Amino acid sequence: MVVNQEVATFAGGCFWCMVEPFDKRPGIINVVSGYTGGTTENPTYEEVCSNTTGHVEAVKITYDPSIMTYEQLVETFWQQIDPTDAGGQFNDRGASYQTVIFYHNEKQKEIAEASKQKLADSGKFTKPIVTEIIPAKAFYPAEDEHQDYYKTHAFHYKMYKKGSGRADFIKNNWTKSSDKSKLKEQLTPIQYNVTQENGTERPFQNEYWNNEKDGIYVDIVSGEILFSSHDKFDAGCGWPSFTKPVDHYQVKENTDTTHGMIRTEVRSKEGDSHLGHVFNDGPKEQGGLRYCMNSAAMRFIPKEKMIQEGYEKYLYLFQ
C-alpha cells in the first residue's frame, strides 16, 4: 500500500504519446489520459478536438514523491514535446494540443517555473519557450479507448508517434551525442566495441555474469541507472541477466535484424550505449522477460557505495 501520493498534470499534445514516458517509471502509481483547462463539464473527445471547450488533452499522474520527484517528472515532460510551438504539437494543430504544466501547489509552481527558465537559459532552442504554467483545473478522464493507448494499440501508436513527427523531434533534440574519439580514450577496447559498435562479449568470460552482490548497474558511458541486483537472476547463459530495468524510461528498445535474426536490442537512453538484447524466456512469475546484458556496457556500484557515488535516491530499492 502506497501512503505517500501526489498528483502532477501535464498537457503535451496528443495524450496517447504522453502516457508511455511516465507509465513504467519507478514511483508512478498510475497515469490517466483526460481533458482539463476548459469550462465544459465532462467533455467528449470530439468536443475537445473541435477546440470549442477550452480544454487541452492532458495526463494526470499519481506518484510517490519519495521515489520519483516532481523535478524528474517535469524534466521528463520537457523531453516529450516541442516547447516552442504555441499552435499545437507536431502534426496535431489547435488549442487542444497546446503544451501546459498545471501546478497543484506553490511548490510545483516554483519547480516548474525554475525548470522552464533553466531550459530557456540553456540556449537549446532559438525560439522562446511558450509552454504555459498555470493552476490545475478540473480534470475529466478520457473515454476508455484512449486510456493506455500505447499498450492497447501498440502498432498504431508507434506508427502515429513516428508519423506525427514527435519521435524524430525527440531523437534530434533530446538525445545526447557523444564524442566517439574521447570515448575511445576513456573506454577499454571491449567497452568501446560493445557500447559503440554493438559488439558482444564472451559468455562466462565477463565481469558480472556471476556477480551476486547487492547494488546497482549503471551505463559505463553516461552513468545513468540501468538495473538492480534485486532483479538479477542466473539464466545460465553466461551474461548478466535481469527481469526488468530499474527505470524503463532510461532504456530504449530497437528491432535488430543483424546476423540473420530478429531480436530486440536494448540501448541506454542518455548514453545511447548498446547494452544487449531482451528476450521472452525469463521467469514467468516476474513478467517473463530476460534482459541479457553485456558486462562491458555497465559499471557495478555496491549498495554500500551508492551514497558516495551520488545514487542515494535509489537506496529505496534495498529497503
As annotated, the active-site residues are 14, 292
Q: Centre a 10 Å sphere on the Cβ of residue 313 and count the other Cβ atoms it contains.
A: 16
Nearest to 7 by CA among 22, 21, 116: 22
b/e burial code for range 224-250 (CB count within 10 A of at least 16 → b) = bbbbbbebbeebeeebbbbbbbbbbbb
Please calculate the CA angle 294-282-167 and round it to the nearest 5 degrees.
65
Q: Let me know: does 101 contact 68? Beta carbons within 8 Å.
A: no
Q: How many helices (H) and strands (E) does the chain have?
A: 9, 17
Pairing between β-strand 215-219 and β-strand 298-302 as defined by DSSP bridges: antiparallel
Nearest to 68 by CA among 281, 225, 259: 225
Q: Which residues lie across from 292 on neighbouring strands?
A: 241, 277
